[in-house]
């Protein structure tokens, strides 16, 4: 196995849902130790890209791989953790029970205490999920993503609906995970989130990667003052191409 093998890759991925094309032949690679943000408006295809990398839905064409394995394979599932947008998590289970169950799925999980510390759940291990605040709930979902000690995290809009403090808290935990050597693909529609966390940003619009680079490079593209202006410029540009 080559040393520089990407952690995750999407090669020329197209996804059709019936007559609707969610992704038009996108390329995306995550190298070891990278935190890549997939940035785009709602409905751009972010969640579809994540679902393909999770093996939850097959691509219509193209190749997807996690550590060189098929996304639905057991090898891929053992080496990856995921935080998805879950509308309702079973509420009559304690934080501890949720984490212990997910840990049992993996061959080399983190020790329970480490997962609790890494997700900032100390002191609420024995609370029922239903009694937790919004920020605490997101942290439990984050804990379920990291408890198997995976090399890759796929985080689908992990901070949606959180207040500023809870958001910053989760950012710190994501940064710590990367500092320990993990790789992350994070989807978001918050520009500041991509700016604050990512080594590299891929801007996605209408199923196409409209721009890719570091935060600084993306800002240059817009020839403007900030990421927000650049983002809007890219959105406009890529939508015009779509029409033409």
> For another protein, which is the closer residue by CB, 98 or 200?
98
> For another protein, which is the closer residue by CB, 70 or 221?
70
Q: Which helix (H) or strand (E) holds 220?
A: helix 215-221
> For another protein, which is the closer residue by CB, 67 or 102?
102
Taking the CA atoms of 196, 175, 38 and 144 in sequence, report the sign of the dihedral they define. Answer: negative
Cβ neighbours around 132 below 10 Å, total: 18
Give the span between the Cα atoms of 30 and 48, in whole angstroms: 17
Q: Which residues bind another protein (CB under 8 A)?
A: 17, 22, 45, 47-48, 50-51, 54-57, 74, 77-78, 80, 82, 84-90, 92-93, 97-98, 100-102, 104-106, 128, 141, 144, 148
Least CB distance to another protein at residue 226 (A) = 29
Least CB distance to another protein at residue 46 (A) = 8
Give the span between the Cα atoms of 173 and 52, in whole angstroms: 25
| Contact of 173 with 119, CB cutoff 8 Å | yes
Structural tokens at position 31: 């190298």
Least CB distance to another protein at residue 56 (A) = 6
> For another protein, which is the closer residue by CB, 63 or 74?
74
Least CB distance to another protein at residue 144 (A) = 7
Neighbouring residues of 7: CB distance < 8 A, sequence distance ≥ 6: 30, 31, 32, 34, 66, 67, 151, 152, 183
> For another protein, which is the closer residue by CB, 142 or 231?
142
Least CB distance to another protein at residue 97 (A) = 6
């Amino acid at each position: 196995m080559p040393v520089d093998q990407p952690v995750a890759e999407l090669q020329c991925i197209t996804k059709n849902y019936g007559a609707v094309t969610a992704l038009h032949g996108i390329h995306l690679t995550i190298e070891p130790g990278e935190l890549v943000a997939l940035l785009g408006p709602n409905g751009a295809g972010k969640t579809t890209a994540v679902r393909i990398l999770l093996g939850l839905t097959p691509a219509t064409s193209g190749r997807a791989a996690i550590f060189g394995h098929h996304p639905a394979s057991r090898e891929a599932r053992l080496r990856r953790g995921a935080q998805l947008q879950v509308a309702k998590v079973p509420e009559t289970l304690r934080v501890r029970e949720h984490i212990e169950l997910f840990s049992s799925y993996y061959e080399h999980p983190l020790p329970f205490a480490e997962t609790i510390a890494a997700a900032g759940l100390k002191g609420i291990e024995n609370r029922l999920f239903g009694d937790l605040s919004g920020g605490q709930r997101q942290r439990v979902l984050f804990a379920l993503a990291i408890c198997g000690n995976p090399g890759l995290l796929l985080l689908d809009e992990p901070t949606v609906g959180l207040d500023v403090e809870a958001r910053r808290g989760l950012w710190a935990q994501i940064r710590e995970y990367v500092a320990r050597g993990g790789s992350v693909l994070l989807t978001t529609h918050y520009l500041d989130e991509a700016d604050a966390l990512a080594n590299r940003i891929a801007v996605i619009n209408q199923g196409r990667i409209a721009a890719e680079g570091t935060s600084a490079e993306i800002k240059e593209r817009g020839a403007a003052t900030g990421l927000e202006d650049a983002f809007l410029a890219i959105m406009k540009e890529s939508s015009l191409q779509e029409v033409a």
